[in-house]
Structure 1
C-alpha cells in the first residue's frame, strides 16, 4: 500500500492567550495602566461548552494557549506546521471600547508584548499586529510603526463595527496596509458588544448558537462594502482575509452582486470590473469552521463554484473547542489542491519562507 504524502501546514488562525490579566502592563504607557485595572472586557456571546479544548491545558499550569512551548509540542510539531500565525483572544474586542485613545494604547502594548514574548520565542511563530478601528489615523500610524518587523505578517481587526468596512472612514488603514505590504485579517469575536452594531441585520440574538451561525451576515456586508465602495480600485495591491466566517455563502452572494451590478453600475461608476473579479483577486478566506454537509460531495460542488483552491487558507482555530485537524479536513480534494490550501496559498500571501 502506497504511503500517504505528509503535507506541510501553515496555520492562519492560532489564538495565543495572556498568562495573567496584567501581561500588557510592562508595555503599556503609565497614563493607561490605572484605567486598565478598572476597565473590563468581555464578549457578549459565550459558548456554553467552554471556549477552549479540554486537552490543551499546559503541564506548566499556565492558562490554555498561554504557554508557547506547549503550543509547539501539541500543535506545531504533530501537524508538520511550518508556521503558526497568532491572533490573540485577549485583544480581539479592543475596537468595541468607546475611548479610541485607550483602545489604541492597548493595541500598542499588545503589539510590543507579542513581539517580545511570542515572536521571539520561536521562528515558527508569526504575528498579526492589532489595531483599533475607532481612529483609523492612529491605526495607520501603528501599522507604520510595527509593520516593518520581519515577524509581523498581517494586520488584524475584528468583524464588529459601527459601519461597513468599505466606507472611506476606514481607508487610512488600508492605505497603510498597502504601504507596508501587509494583508488585513478580519476576525470575529466581539460583534454586538460595546459600541458595535447588533451582530445580525435584524438585531441582537439570544445565545451563542444563533450568534455563531449568523456570523456570515457580518462578512457579507463587509465584503459587499469593500467591493462597491471601490477599495480595491483605490488600493490595487491591498489583500483581505476573512477569517473564521465560513465559505459556502460566497458563491450565491457573488451571483447576486454581479447580477445587480449589471443593472445598477451607475451607482458605482468607479468600478471597472465585475464585483466577482475583485473578490477573486483580493479576497482570501480561512477554512475553519468549514461547513460539513452530510454529503461531502455537496461541499466539493460548492468549491467548484468559486476559486476555492486559490482563495482558501487553512486555519485550525487552536486551542478553541471547534479545532480543525489539518490531517482530516478536505480529504476529498486532490492532493495538489490540498497542498495549496494547507500551506502554499498562505506562504505566498504572507511571504513566508
Structure 2
C-alpha cells in the first residue's frame, strides 16, 4: 500500500543554460566564437510568456541571484521543486536546438551539452547525488551519435540516450539502428523529447505548417506515433530485446486506439513484416510515457486508466521548469494506491535499474525506498 510519503522519481526535468550564449563556452572553435546557434527561446509557434500565469511562473523558476538567467538554470530551484514533490531522484533531459540543417553544428552542440550537464549538474557537490543524466546525440549523424554514447558509456550518472521528437525519418528505419544497438549494449533506454529548433524544423504536421502555437502544440505529440509504429514494424524491438523507449512528450493517450488501428490491418499486411513474432500490441511493454503531457480527460476514471494501461506505461515527469509543469499531487485521479506507486516510482525504477546496476549505482533505488519504510 502507498504511504502518505510515497517517494517519486521525476523522470523528466529540463535544466537550462544560464544564458543563450553559454553553450559556446563548452564548444571548440570555430563553434565557440565564429558560429552562432539558433535562439533557445525558439521563434516558431511561440506562446506568450510575459503574462500571468506563465510569466509569473517562469520568473519563480529563475535563479534568485541572477534576474537575467534562464528559468531552470539553478540547481537549488530544481532541488526545491523535487523536494516539494517528494522526488528522491530527478532525471535531467536538457534541450539542444533540435534538428539543424548543419549536421556538424547539431553534433557539436550535443557533445557540449553533455560536457556541461556532467560538469555543472551531475558532478556538482550541491546536487547530493540526486540527479541522473541524459546523453544527447544527433540521430541524423549516426557515426557521431555512436561515438558520443561510447564517450559517456562509463559515466555513472548517465542513464539514457536523448533524441528530439522532430526527425529526418521515423526512428525505426535502418539508418538509425547503430544508435539504438549501442544504447542497448550499454543498458541505456532512449528518451524522445520535443526539442524544436528556431525556424529550422521540417513541417510539423502531415498537412504542412500551422499558424498558431495552440494549433502546433495540440498536434505535436502525434509525431510520436510515427516513431512508435516505426520502432515496432521495422523490427527494432525484435532485434534489440533489451531496448526500451520513453516518449516524454505526449502520445500515451492515442496509443491504444493507434495500436488497434495497426492490428486491424495485421492479417492482410503480415507478409510485409515477417520478422515480427507477434501483433503490434505485443510490443507496447517496450514503451514508456510521461504523465505531464496527457491529452486525456481532466479527471480520468479508473476505467480510462485501465484501458490506456496507465499503471504499466506511465512515469511521473514534472517537465520543470516549463509552464506546463505538474507535481506528484496531480497524479491522483482514478488511480489506486498501488497504481499510483507504480507511476511515481516503480515504472521509472524498473526502466533505469539495468543501467544503474551496470554502473554500480542500483543502491540509489533501494536506498530511497528503504528510507521511506524506516521507523
Which TM-score applies when normalising by structure 2? 0.86
**In the alignment, is residue 227 of structure 1 matched against residue 226 of structure 2?**
no
- Does 143-152 or 324-333 show the bigger shift? 324-333
1:120 aligns with 2:123: yes
1:79 equivalent among 85, 89, 100 = 85
Please give the alpha-carbon distance, in whole angstroms, between the structure 2 residues aligned to 1:178 and 1:39. 31
> Which ranges of structure 1 fall in alignment gaps of 5 or more residues?
none
Please give the per-residue CA displacement for 1:94-119, whole angstroms capped at 9, x wherever unaligned.
4x211212211111111011000001
Structure 2 unaligned residues grouped into runs of 5+: 354-363, 366-375
State the partner residue of 2:73.
66
Partner in structure 2 of residue 97 of structure 1: 100
Residues 128-177 of structure 1, C-alpha deviation per residue, up to 9 Å, x if partnerless? 11001221121011011113211001011111112111110111110111
Deviations 1:256-285 (A, max 9, x none): 1112112211011111111111122x1111
Change (3 A) 1:252 1:191: farther
How far is the alpha carbon of 1:178 from its aligned partner?
0.6
Deviations for 1:166-197, whole angstroms, at most 9, x for unmatched residues?
A: 11011111011111110000001318952x43
Give the whole-Å Cα distance in 2 for the aligned partners of 1:43 and 1:82: 35
Give the superposition deviation at 1:70: 2.2
CA distance in 2, matches of 1:190, 1:119: 25
Paired position in structure 2 for 1:16: 15
Count of residues paired in the alignment: 342
8 Å Cα contact 1:246/1:287 also seen in 2? no
Query: Using the alignment, how far apart are the partners of 1:203 and 1:154 within structure 2?
Result: 32
Q: Is the 8 A contact 1:13 1:318 kept in 2?
A: yes
User: Match for 1:302 among 291, 301, 304?
Assistant: 304
Measure the CA separation in 1 of the matches of 2:293 and 2:242: 28
Aligned to 2:316: 314
- The answer on 1:249 being equivalent to 2:254 is yes
The 8 Å contact of residues 38 and 198 in structure 2, kept in 1 or not, is answered as no
Q: Following superposition of structure 1 onto structure 2, how do residues 257-276 of structure 1 map, counting pairs within 5 Å? A: 257-276=262-281
| Residue 164 (structure 1) aligned with residue 170 (structure 2) | yes
Aligned counterparts of 1:295 and 1:172: Cα–Cα separation in 2? 41
Output the aligned Cα RMSD: 2.0
State the match for 1:289 in structure 2.
Answer: 293
Contact 1:192 1:204 in 2 (8 A): no
Partners of 1:236 and 1:296 lie apart in 2 by 32
Following the alignment from structure 1 to structure 2, what is the Cα–Cα distance between the partners of residues 191 and 239?
Answer: 26
Q: Please list the CA deviations of residues 274-320 of structure 1 after superposition, one character each: whole Å capped at 9, or x if unmatched.
A: 1111122x1111111223525532xx323212432121111111111
Within-5 A mapping of 1:114-263: 114-121=117-124, 122=127, 123-190=129-196, 193-194=199-200, 196-263=201-268
Find the aligned partners of 1:176 and 1:295 in 2 and give their Cα distance: 40
Between 26-35 and 14-23, the greater mean CA deviation after superposition: 26-35
1:117 and 1:325 map into 2 onto residues whose CA distance is 25
